[in-house]
C-alpha cells in the first residue's frame, strides 16, 4: 500500500479497496519502523491522523468525493498547526504550539487530507542540506551517508522512502526543487503569490512560497490544487483564478518551445548531470518540443544578490524571536538586554546567527545602498532577462542542481560552497516565477533532477510537460533500496 501515489490512493479509496484509516495505520507503522534511519519527522500526530482518517472515511461513506479526501500527507515544520508543535527545526521554537492553523494546513484539512505529522527541515529553512536542524540531520534514503537536500529535506526524504505519498514544502531559494532533485521526486515552487503564506513562519518574505513534493507531476497537481488560491489574510496573495491542474495534464507538447540557457551549463556543472539533462531534452523533442538556445545574461549575479536579500529579510523577520512573548527564554536574565541577547544566542543555531548578522549588516546605515539596494537592482535585471526569454519560449529547461547529493558534513567548514549549490534555483525566486524539478536519471546511484521554469501563473504548463515526460520515462518510478 505504501507504494501508491496520491492518484492511485484516490482511486483505491473511491473503489473501497481500502479505507483511509487502514492506509493511515499502515503508513504510521512504516514510519515507526523506518524513520529512525532517516530522521525525516520532528513530530508525529498519530491520534490526530487517525481522527482525520476516520472523518474522511465517514465523508466518503456519505457520498463525498475529492482527490485529497482521506489522502495521507505531512507538513514541513514551519506551517503553523493549531495545538501541535511548530518548531521550524529550531531550539528557539522547540516549545511553541501555534494558536492557529496556517492557511495551507487549513485548506488541505478541509479537502480531507490526513496529516501524519510535521517534517524535519533546515533551521528556519536556511540551508540546502537539512543538516542545520536542531533535531539532527536528515538522511537521504538513496544513500544514508548523503544529505537529502534542503531545506524541505524531511518532506523529501519521507516521500522518497515511501513513508507517505506527498508532503508540503517551502521554497525561498530552491528548498522544494533542490531536495526533490536529490531524492528523485517531483517538486513544484508556484508563482509568488499563488499559495498563501499566512501561518507559514517567514524566512525571506519576498521570496518564500509553499508548494508540493510528490513522486509524480500528477500528484503535485493534486496537492497544489488543495494549497493554491487567493487568501485575504496574506497581503501578497494574488487574486488570480486557479485552473484545474489535473484536468490539464494531457496537453500535447507538439510545438512547445523550450529555451535552454547557456548559463545553466557553464563551469561548475557536473558533466554527468549535463549529459542527463541533454537526454531529457532529447526525450521532450521526441514528444514534439522545439529547442531554442537562449541566454540569461545576469544569472552570474544571482547568488550574491540572493545572499544579501534573503538574509536581510531574515534578519528583520527573526527579530520577533526575542524571548519575551513566545519561544525560548534564557534562565535568570539580569535585565532586558541580557534576556534578548542570551535567549537569541541560545535559541538560534550557527547558520541562523550567521544569516542574521549578514542581513543586519547589509541593512545598516551606510551599507544599505552598497548592498541591499544593489541586490534589488540585480533582482530586477534577472526578472527582465526572464521576461525577454519568455517572449521567445514557453518554458526554460536546465539542471536543478550542479551536483548530486553530497556527503553529510562535507560542506560544514565552507558555507559558501553550499550556497553555490543554489545557483540554478534561486533565479526563479528572485523573479517570482514558478519552477518544477523532476527526476532525470542517476549519477553514482544518486538521483539527478531536471528543472523547468515557466511564466507567471503557468504552473499548469509545468505540470503538463512533466506529466508527459513521466508518461514516457521511468526515472520517477525508481525507489531507493531498503525502502
Query: Can you give the binding site for ligand GLN, defined by CB under 6 A?
Result: 125-128, 151, 171-175, 203, 310, 422
Q: How far is CA 109 from the centre of its chain?
A: 19
Compare residues 429 and 468 and give the one whose CB is closer to ligand GLN. Answer: 429
d(CA 385, CA 118): 38
Q: Which of 151, 155, 237, 246 is catalytic?
A: 151
What's 320-348 look like in SS3?
HCCCCCCCCCCCCCCCHHHHHHHHHHHHC
- Shortest spacing between CB 340 and ligand GLN, in angstroms: 25
d(CA 168, CA 155): 7
- Shortest spacing between CB 332 and ligand GLN, in angstroms: 34
Compare residues 222 and 310 and give the one whose CB is closer to ligand GLN. Answer: 310
Compare residues 84 and 310 and give the one whose CB is closer to ligand GLN. Answer: 310
- Shortest spacing between CB 320 and ligand GLN, in angstroms: 18
Mapped onto helix, strand or coil, the DSSP state of residue 129 is: coil
Compare residues 114 and 303 and give the one whose CB is closer to ligand GLN. Answer: 303
Are 116 and 27 in contact, with CB atoms under 8 Å apart?
Answer: yes
Residue with cell 544513500: 143
Alpha helices in 318-457 (DSSP H): 336-347, 350-363, 374-389, 415-419, 426-431
Compare residues 152 and 470 and give the one whose CB is closer to ligand GLN. Answer: 152
Q: Which three cell numbers stand for residue 125?
A: 529553512
| Exposure on the CB side of residue 482, measured as CA atoms within 13 A | 10
Compare residues 332 and 413 and give the one whose CB is closer to ligand GLN. Answer: 413
Strand order, beta sheet including 72-76:
41-44, 114-119, 72-76
Nearest to 53 by CA among 23, 89, 12: 23
Type and span of the H or E element at 187? strand 186-189
Alpha helices in 96-140 (DSSP H): 103-110
Confirm whether 175 is a catalytic residue.
yes
Greatest distance between any 2 Cα atoms in the chain = 70
- Shortest spacing between CB 422 and ligand GLN, in angstroms: 5
Q: Which of 175, 237, 246, 343 is catalytic?
A: 175
Confirm whether 76 is a catalytic residue.
yes
- Shortest spacing between CB 119 and ligand GLN, in angstroms: 14
- Shortest spacing between CB 426 and ligand GLN, in angstroms: 7
Confirm whether 282 is a catalytic residue.
no
Residues tagged active-site: 76, 151, 175
Amino acid at each position: 500500500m505504501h507504494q501508491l501515489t496520491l492518484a492511485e490512493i484516490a482511486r483505491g479509496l473511491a473503489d473501497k479497496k481500502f479505507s483511509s484509516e487502514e492506509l493511515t495505520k499502515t503508513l504510521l507503522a512504516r514510519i515507526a519502523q523506518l524513520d529512525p534511519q532517516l530522521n525525516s519527522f520532528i513530530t508525529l500526530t498519530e491520534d490526530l491522523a487517525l481522527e482525520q482518517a476516520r472523518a474522511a472515511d465517514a465523508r466518503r461513506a456519505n457520498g463525498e468525493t475529492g482527490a485529497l479526501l482521506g489522502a495521507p500527507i505531512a507538513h514541513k515544520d514551519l506551517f503553523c498547526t493549531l495545538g501541535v508543535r511548530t518548531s521550524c527545526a529550531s531550539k528557539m521554537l522547540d516549545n511553541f504550539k501555534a494558536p492557529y492553523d496556517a492557511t495551507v494546513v487549513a485548506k488541505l484539512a478541509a479537502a480531507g487530507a490526513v496529516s501524519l505529522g510535521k517534517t524535519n527541515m533546515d533551521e528556519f529553512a536556511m540551508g540546502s542540506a537539512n543538516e542545520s536542524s536542531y533535531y539532527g540531520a536528515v538522511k537521504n534514503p538513496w544513500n544514508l551517508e548523503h544529505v537529502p537536500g534542503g531545506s524541505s529535506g524531511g518532506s523529501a526524504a519521507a516521500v522518497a522512502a515511501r513513508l507517505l505519498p506527498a508532503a508540503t514544502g517551502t521554497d525561498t531559494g530552491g528548498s522544494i526543487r533542490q531536495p526533490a532533485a536529490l531524492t528523485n521526486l517531483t517538486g513544484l515552487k508556484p508563482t509568488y503569490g499563488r499559495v498563501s503564506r499566512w501561518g507559514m513562519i517567514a524566512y525571506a518574505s519576498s521570496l518564500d512560497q509553499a508548494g508540493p513534493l510528490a513522486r509524480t507531476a500528477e500528484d503535485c497537481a493534486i496537492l497544489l490544487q488543495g494549497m493554491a488560491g487567493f487568501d485575504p489574510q496574506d497581503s501578497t496573495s494574488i487574486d488570480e483564478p486557479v485552473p484545474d491542474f489535473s484536468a490539464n495534464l494531457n496537453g500535447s507538447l507538439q510545438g512547445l518551445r523550450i529555451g535552454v540557457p547557456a548559463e545553466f551549463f557553464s563551469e561548475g556543472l557536473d558533466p554527468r548531470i549535463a549529459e542527463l539533462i541533454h537526454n531529457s531534452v532529447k526525450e521532450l523533442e521526441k514528444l514534439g518540443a522545439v529547442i531554442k538556445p537562449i541566454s540569461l545574461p545576469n544569472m552570474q549575479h544571482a547568488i550574491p544578490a540572493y545572499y544579501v536579500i534573503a538574509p536581510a529579510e531574515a534578519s528583520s523577520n527573526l527579530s520577533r524571536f526575542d524571548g519575551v512573548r513566545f519561544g525560548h527564554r534564557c534562565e535568570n536574565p539580569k535585565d532586558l538586554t541580557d534576556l534578548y541577547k542570551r535567549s537569541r544566542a541560545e535559541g538560534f543555531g550557527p547558520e541562523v546567527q550567521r544569516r542574521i548578522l549578514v542581513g543586519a549588516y547589509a541593512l545598516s546605515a551606510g551599507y544599505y545602498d552598497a548592498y541591499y539596494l544593489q541586490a534589488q537592482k540585480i533582482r530586477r535585471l534577472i526578472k527582465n532577462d526572464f521576461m525577454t526569454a519568455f517572449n521567445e519560449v514557453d518554458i526554460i529547461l536546465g539542471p536543478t542542481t550542479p551536483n548530486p547529493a553530497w556527503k553529510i558534513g562535507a560542506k560544514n567548514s565552507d558555507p559558501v560552497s553550499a550556497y553555490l549549490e543554489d545557483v540554478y534555483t534561486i533565479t526563479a525566486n528572485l523573479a517570482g516565477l514558478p519552477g518544477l524539478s523532476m527526476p532525470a536519471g542517476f549519477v553514482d546511484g544518486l538521483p539527478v533532477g531536471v528543472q523547468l521554469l515557466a511564466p507567471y501563473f503557468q504552473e499548469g504548463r509545468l505540470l503538463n510537460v512533466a506529466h508527459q515526460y513521466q508518461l514516457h520515462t521511468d526515472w520517477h518510478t525508481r525507489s531507493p533500496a531498503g525502502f
